[in-house]
Amino acid sequence: MSTDLMRVETDVLVIGSGAAGMYAAIEAARAGCRVFVADRSLIGRGGATVMAQMTVAVALADEAPDHWSHHYQDTLSAGRGLCNEALARLLTEQGPPCIREMDGWGVGWARKNGKITSTFAPGHDRPRCVYVDFLNTGPAVSKTLRSALYKTKGVTRAGDLCVVDLIRTGDAVVGAAAWHLGSGAPVVIDAKATVLATGGLTRLYRRNSGSANMGGDGYALALRAGATLIDMEFVQFFPIGHLAPRLIGMDPIMWDPFRYKLGGRLLNNRGEEFTQAYGVPEDGKYIITRDVGTYAILKEVAAGRGSPHGGAFLSFQHVPEEKLREAFGPVIDRLAANGIDLTRMPVEVAPIAHYHMGGIAADAAMATGIQGFYVAGEAVGGANGANRLSGNAITEALVFGREAGRSAAAFAGTLRTVPAGNARDTVDLIAADGPASVPNTAAMLLRLQSVMSDDVGPLRTAERLDRARQAIADMQIELGERPFGSNGRFDPIRLDWFDLHNMLMVADVVTQTALRRTESRGAHQREDFPGMLPQWNVNQAAQLNGGRVSISNVPIATQVAAQ
């Protein structure tokens, strides 16, 4: 057991090693910086990137005409009027060079006749989504970036290093304080510039497609460091997450690629296709966007027309067996091992928490308005507005990562020496003795996930949101200010405490912003305020003032102000 303080010095600190963090690190190192990459999990294996199966949206125009401006327009339409246009433009305009650079690094984008091939996905006006194969795109992206990162000189990598807080000195972020999970030691990383790329928050929800490292740490870290969060009410639910029968060893969002290939019929318990009642006649095709799909399924369930486990049926029974085998390949055998024969039965699907449109406010240089502090990937809010298009998240991670790495390196180049920050309070917290008697943290995590799923899910009312706020406030009191567990080697109870500390803060912001937005738009549907209202053509910005979260309306795309 060691609780001795370790101190590290670097030009650029990158927190998180998904696609965004790894690209940022590569870019900053290519600019000549010493880079330190910290991840609470294994490098390149802890977040959503390595789990993503399917497609990456980009106007490559290899097979057929396309232009980034068409992708941009589709992104704005899907965002229901709330996109930060500068970020949406960056994502769509810089997607092609990033995808081509990844191609050069050997990611293996699928090709037809020598050209990188693209598939159609809902919300895009033409086939625009590249992939490696439909089940391995994320692992291939992650592996390619890991290889490039390992080959890049000047990068130090540290896994098992959970960042607990950023260090703010005066106007600037000057590094971070972390907890080394394996030894229990506090670690202070002094940095000229910091890139936060910690991914999303779907662990707040009981049914989610992500990993245990996606509890929204980055949003809480940024808030405490004085940054602004925007659009926090917009949590994306993926409509057709697998629900039943039980499926072992498969991804809950695995049905999407097969809907790309085969369409498939989304049915209620009367055997009827129902999406036309919600404005989108699919007729066996796959065109419904995620926000409308989620809404339609949940409304069918509420009307008593849901499947036995509370979702909808997805059926491929009308597709000939040989076509199914052609599309699904060996997956057919894995389904058979789980007792699923798609020629004879539908499966049940239901919305599952999947992605966060909201996040840390940034400009198109990925700057947060706080000196030396940059953000990248899903941690950034605004590019996708109220609803994200399929495939935009990996593009966002690559493009924003590259941009953040560049900006951080440029800023670091303006400083002669590495500033030494004061992280005493966080170091004391990491090393503190825990209270003797503590509640069950695993049960608290489940409770929080239930509160968020039941009362802050896709369909919301003031009554449920108020109830959630109260429950979150009660849990914050229960959690207290002193970490549970011990300051020794890997202690899951202490990790739960730090996780809950952040998750409760972030859950409160999601709930408060959802309560304030008295309209329905994209992923945020208020049953007591149906329909989009022009006065809500604004973003909501959340900040921490005197320890309390304050929220205000801000005109779209003006969220980043120098602080």
Ligand X SMILES: Cc1cc2nc3c(=O)[nH]c(=O)nc-3n(C[C@H](O)[C@H](O)[C@H](O)COP(=O)(O)OP(=O)(O)OC[C@H]3O[C@@H](n4cnc5c(N)ncnc54)[C@H](O)[C@@H]3O)c2cc1C
Residues near ligand X (CB under 6 A): 15-21, 38-41, 46-49, 51-56, 137-138, 162-163, 197-199, 209-210, 213-214, 217-218, 251, 253, 355, 377-379, 391-394, 397
Which residue, 235 or 551, is less far from ligand X as judged by CB? 235
C-beta of residue 47 within 8 angstroms of C-beta of residue 213 = yes
Stated as kind and residue range, the H or E segment containing 130 is strand 129-130
Whichever of 21 and 306 has its CB closer to ligand X, that residue is 21
Return the half-sphere exposure (C-beta side, CA atoms, 13 A cut-off) of residue 540: 25
The burial of 4, by beta-carbon neighbours within 10 Å (0-12 exposed, 13-18 middle, 19 or more buried), is given as exposed
**Min dist. Cβ of residue 238 to ligand X (A):** 8
Site of tokens 């404005």:
279
CB of residue 388 to ligand X, shortest distance in Å:
8
Q: Pick from 366, 302, 377: which is nearest to 138 by CA?
A: 377
To ligand X, the closest distance from the beta carbon of 175 in angstroms equals 13
Closest separation in Å from C-beta 8 to ligand X: 14
Closer residue to ligand X in complex, CB, 52/349? 52
Between 38 and 331, whose beta carbon lies closer to ligand X? 38
Per this entry, what is the length of the chain?
Answer: 563
Candidates 362, 359, 384, 358; CA nearest to 373 is 362
Q: Using the minimum distance from each CB to ligand X, give the nearer residue, 202 or 512.
A: 202
DSSP notation for 449-494: HHHHHHHSSSEE-HHHHHHHHHHHHHHHHHH-SS--S-SSS--HHH
Q: Are 230 and 542 in contact (CB under 8 A)?
A: yes
- Residue placing its CB nearer to ligand X in the complex, 225 or 394: 394
Least Å from the CB of residue 273 to ligand X: 25
Is the peptide bond preceding residue 245 cis, with omega within 30 degrees of 0? yes
Q: 137 vs 539, which CB is nearer to ligand X? A: 137
Running DSSP on this structure, what letter comes out for residue 248?
S
What's the min distance (Å) between Cβ of 218 and ligand X? Answer: 6
Q: Which two tokens stand for residue 304?
A: 């008593």
Q: Assign residue 485 a region (left: φ > 0; alpha: ψ between -120 and 50; beta: otherwise).
A: left
Closer residue to ligand X (CB): 37 or 172:
37
